[in-house]
Structure 1
């Protein structure tokens, strides 16, 4: 298996095991949004109440997984976009396939600089 496939499978297994994350009021919070259209998939993973530092996001649906580049917090927040639209990719969104979202749901996770999942959430995607 390729290194990328092995990594994707490991991430999926980790997210399955961590599907419920308990947090207190001062801990990291996450907002995940996703949308499907004819010939397009898009999503966002946004974190708040984060310690200053570098984070990345993993966006997954079915067996599809994409990981964003690392971003530094602005204040206590960080935002990541995922999209199949070329214009949005040129503006900084992490590229995903047009049919990336499977079964109408997606999971977003925030990872700290060490690769530890600090928050995760699964949502139902909006269909347009």
Structure 2
């Protein structure tokens, strides 16, 4: 009986690792003279709570935890007050530097699920 439980536990852990390995991360960012904005969106995730971290140069911001909807979770970062009131994590208008940003998806324990660096659109 003990061996059976061990095998079942090992199989369950392997399934979770496989699902995390297939996680998809989409990071988009945009700069304007008076605004920075970005989104960090994960899919193919194990249901649960996640947060996102956005970094550019020496700047870093982290969202609060959010629950997956199906297998997806989405986070917005913005310097626009209207979007912040709608739930975006606040960042400074000059947050994005060097035309690049890195979005990182974290699980509820703070472990990195996936990370991606992208070039930001300048408008």
TM bucket, shorter chain: 0.7 to 0.9
Q: What's the offset of the Cα at 1:26? A: 6.0
Distance 1:73 1:97, change over 3 A: same
Q: How does 1:88-99 map to 2 (within 5 A)?
A: 88-99=83-94
> Contact 1:28–1:119 at 8 Å: present in 2 too?
yes
Trace 1:38-117 onto structure 2 (pairs within 5 A). 38-117=33-112
Is 1:119 paired with 2:122?
A: no
Q: Aligned equivalents of 1:25 and 1:78: distance in 2?
A: 14
Give TM-score scaled by structure 1 length.
0.80
RMSD: 1.6
Q: CA deviation at 1:74?
A: 0.1
Distance in 2 between residues matched to 1:63 and 1:97, nearest whole Å: 12
Q: Which runs of 4+ in 1 moved over 3 A?
A: 23-26
- Relative to its length, the structure with more helix (as a share) is 2
Distance 2:119 2:21 in 1: 26
Count of matched residue pairs = 106
The structure number with the bigger radius of gyration is 2
Structure 1 SS opposite 2:69: coil
Which structure 2 segments of 5+ residues have no match? Answer: 1-17
Cα 1:117/1:25, change in 2 over 3 Å: closer
Q: TM-score, normalised by structure 2?
A: 0.83
Unaligned runs of 5+ in 1: 1-22
